């Protein structure tokens, strides 16, 4: 059959065999499963989650958490986006080709390893937040379909070629999950005009070393809503006029 370039690179509906024989597979599978299961769990009545940003269908919650004076507030965001599918959302989040176009905290991104069509390892450096030292991160990224959900999970890892804390950067640690589900009116065929995708984005960033709590929480409060609004409208723009990929 004939495929466009984009179609071939969409997240595969089943796990790529090359991933299941990789040494990272047991960890990737376990953490992805945990993250996806927890992603859509309610924040409503649960203790400790506080709403800190609300705009249209977007709601962002955080739980204040400090370990040895370092802010590690877990974040959970819920959003609803029209006209794009869960699979398309995950395609743009996972594929490095688009990352500089929506990721505003990025300074550099290097592909460390292409494990399979659905898993990669990345090294990224981020813009410096004054007065803290610049940060970098090394993480695997995995996209999968799980029942009615498409999700990307990112989680920190190590690699001898990219040792932590040897240069100007302090290594931070991250666990992120973007989980998406598409719905359309009962009995109708999904089209760009009738689908809505629910998004759950969860993130925990351990800054890896000292950074002033006040500055960190201010950055957090500004950058997460900025990211989610920018990323979702970026995907809507990219998909506009293209055939729907479910």
Q: Which residues bind ligand 16C (CB under 6 A)?
A: 103, 105, 124, 126-127, 129, 132, 135, 137, 154, 172, 174, 176, 205, 207, 211, 216, 219-220, 223-224, 227
Shortest spacing between CB 139 and ligand 16C, in angstroms: 7
SS3 110: strand
Shortest distance, position 197 Cβ to ligand 16C, whole Å: 17
Q: Which is nearer to ligand 16C, 124 or 195 (CB)?
A: 124
- Of residues 215 and 245, the one with the C-beta less far from ligand 16C: 215
Phi/psi of residue 142, nearest 5 degrees:
-135, 130
Q: How far apart are CA 136 and CA 120, in angstroms?
A: 17
Minimum distance from residue 123 beta carbon to ligand 16C (Å)? 11
Q: Are 88 and 245 in contact (CB under 8 A)?
A: yes
Residue nearest to ligand 16C (CB): 223
C-beta of residue 236 within 8 angstroms of C-beta of residue 153? no
Sign of CA dihedral 199, 200, 206, 212: positive
The two three-digit tokens of residue 202, written as one number: 């969860």
C-alpha distances out from residue 125 to 25, 86, 141, 246, Å: 25, 28, 16, 33
Least Cβ distance, residue 219 to ligand 16C (angstroms): 5
C-beta closer to ligand 16C: residue 30 or 127 = 127
Q: How far is the CB of 162 from ligand 16C (least distance, A)?
A: 15
Check if the beta carbon of residue 168 is closer than 8 Å to that of residue 136: no
Name the residue nearer to ligand 16C (CB basis): 120 or 172: 172
Task: Identify the helix (H) or strand (E) that includes residue 34.
Answer: helix 25-39
Extract the tokens encoding 21: 């024989």
CA distance 44 to 181: 19
Output the smallest distance, CB 178 to ligand 16C, in A. Answer: 7
Nearer to ligand 16C, 195 or 211 (CB): 211
Taking the least distance from each CB to ligand 16C, the nearer of 135 and 181 is 135
CB of 187 to ligand 16C, least distance (A): 36
Total residue length of the chain = 246
Q: Which residues contact 68 (CB under 8 A, 6 or more apart)?
A: none
Which residue number, 11 or 207, has a Cβ lying nearer to ligand 16C? 207
């Amino acid at each position: 059959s004939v495929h466009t370039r984009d179609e071939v690179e969409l997240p595969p509906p089943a796990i790529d065999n090359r991933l299941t024989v990789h040494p990272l597979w047991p960890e990737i599978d376990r953490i992805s499963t945990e993250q996806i299961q927890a992603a859509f769990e309610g924040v409503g009545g649960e203790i400790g989650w506080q709403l800190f940003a609300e705009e249209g269908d977007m709601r962002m919650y955080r739980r204040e958490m400090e370990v040895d004076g370092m802010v590690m507030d877990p974040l959970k965001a819920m959003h609803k986006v029209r006209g794009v599918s869960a699979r398309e959302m995950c395609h743009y989040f996972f594929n490095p080709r688009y990352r500089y176009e929506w990721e505003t905290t990025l300074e550099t991104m290097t592909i460390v390893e292409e494990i399979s069509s659905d898993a990669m390892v990345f090294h990224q450096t981020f813009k410096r937040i004054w007065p803290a030292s610049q940060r970098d991160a090394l993480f695997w990224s995995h996209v999968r379909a799980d029942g009615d959900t498409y999700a990307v999970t990112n989680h920190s890892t190590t690699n001898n070629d990219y040792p932590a804390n040897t240069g100007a950067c302090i290594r931070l640690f991250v666990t992120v999950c973007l989980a998406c589900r598409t719905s359309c009116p009962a009995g109708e065929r999904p089209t760009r005009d009738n689908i809505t995708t629910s998004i759950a984005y969860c993130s925990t960033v351990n800054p890896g070393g000292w950074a002033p709590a006040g500055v960190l929480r201010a950055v957090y409060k500004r950058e997460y809503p900025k990211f989610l609004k920018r990323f979702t409208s970026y995907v809507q723009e990219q998909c506009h006029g293209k055939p729907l990929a479910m």
